[in-house]
Amino acid sequence: MALQKWEIFQDEASDFLNSHFNANFAVEGGFDLSQSYIAVRQSLRLITNIEAKFGPTQAGQIILKNEDKKFVFCDKSKNDSNKYTIEIIKYLNSNYSDFKGTNDASIYVNISKDVLYDWIKTIYYEKGVEWIISSNKFNKLSLNDLLFIPINEIEKYFDINLIFRRKKTGNIQIPGKNIIDFKEQLELINKEYKIKKTNNKYLLTTKERLLDFNIGTKYLVSMTNIDCQYYVKKKDVKTNPNVMFELKLKDNIDFMSEKFIKDYDL
């Protein structure tokens, strides 16, 4: 399966840093927007972590719940609540009528930018991330393409927005109890198939490519890197209100190599 642009950027940024500094830079944390980062080590000693962002980019989100005609923090959020989270939710509730009826549309939240920058800094510091590397270009990177700065200076180099939206909580791998029902729905459109379970996931193999990835109203399939083979998933029809932090690079680019070398005694 082809890599996404942000994955290519993350790998190439790591390679570039390895060629530029006397340290080891390696992508860690998995290919997950909420967890992946570039770890910096000398021998076995962890020096710091770097967030790699192909721009424009999502820089975090807060999942909310609607309770008693107000928004509250939802524990499905991937980051813990902090004082800036509380400020954001307080603002949304003070303007509740503007957001309560939103379905799929996105609304820009007119809140202080300082609150948003401070939320991002706090979240990244909690993950041990002290620097960020970013670009609007994702391959064949040069020094002129890359922004490399401490997290605490992001307001100088990024515009930031907070976007309120409702988002499906995410399709899930199909539970075993739903396989019989899935087969019944599949056989209405395709009777030549095989299903096997591998690493807690169900794989569907068909004789010919499927023209529609929706299987009935409750299920869908997604491609693997093998032709005519698919992961079987159950649709999640629930939605949660949430706010998403969006970062966009400004025109000024800076690569603070001397500061990085001095800060970490490289």
- Residues 120, 49, single domain; the answer is yes
Contact (CB, 8 A) for 162 and 114: no
- Residues 209, 157, single domain; the answer is no
In a domain? residue 82: no
In this prediction, residues 15-37 reach a mean pLDDT of 78
The number of folded domains in the chain is 2
**In Å, how far are 5, 111, 133, 162, 260 from 116, measured between CA atoms?**
25, 8, 19, 7, 25
Treating both helix axes as pointing N-terminal to C-terminal, what angle do 113-126 and 83-94 enclose, rounded to 10 degrees?
140
Cα–Cα distance for residue pair 176/201, rounded to 1 Å: 9
**In Å, how far are 19, 95, 120, 162 from 13, measured between CA atoms?**
10, 41, 21, 26
Token pair recorded at residue 148: 């490399």
Q: Is 149 helix (H, G, I), strand (E, B) or coil?
A: strand
- Residues 116, 137, single domain; the answer is yes
pLDDT in tens, 127-139: 899 999 999 988 8
Across the chain, mean pLDDT equals 88
Query: Phi and psi for 39 in degrees, rounded to 5?
Result: -90, 140
Q: What pLDDT sits at residue 32?
A: 44
In a domain? residue 74: no
In a domain? residue 206: yes
Cα 77 from chain centroid? Answer: 12
Contact (CB, 8 A) for 166 and 88: no
Token pair recorded at residue 237: 């029809």
Is 246 a residue whose pLDDT tops 90?
A: yes
In a domain? residue 68: no
- Residues 132, 193, single domain; the answer is no
Question: Averaging pLDDT over each range in 6-10, 100-104, 123-127, which range is the top one?
Answer: 123-127
Q: Which domain holds residue 211?
A: 172-234
In a domain? residue 11: yes
Q: What pLDDT sits at residue 237?
A: 62
Q: What is the reported pTM?
A: 0.73
pLDDT in tens, 50-66: 999 998 888 999 999 98
Contact (CB, 8 A) for 166 and 102: yes
Rounded to 5°, angle at Cα 29 from 15 and 157: 60
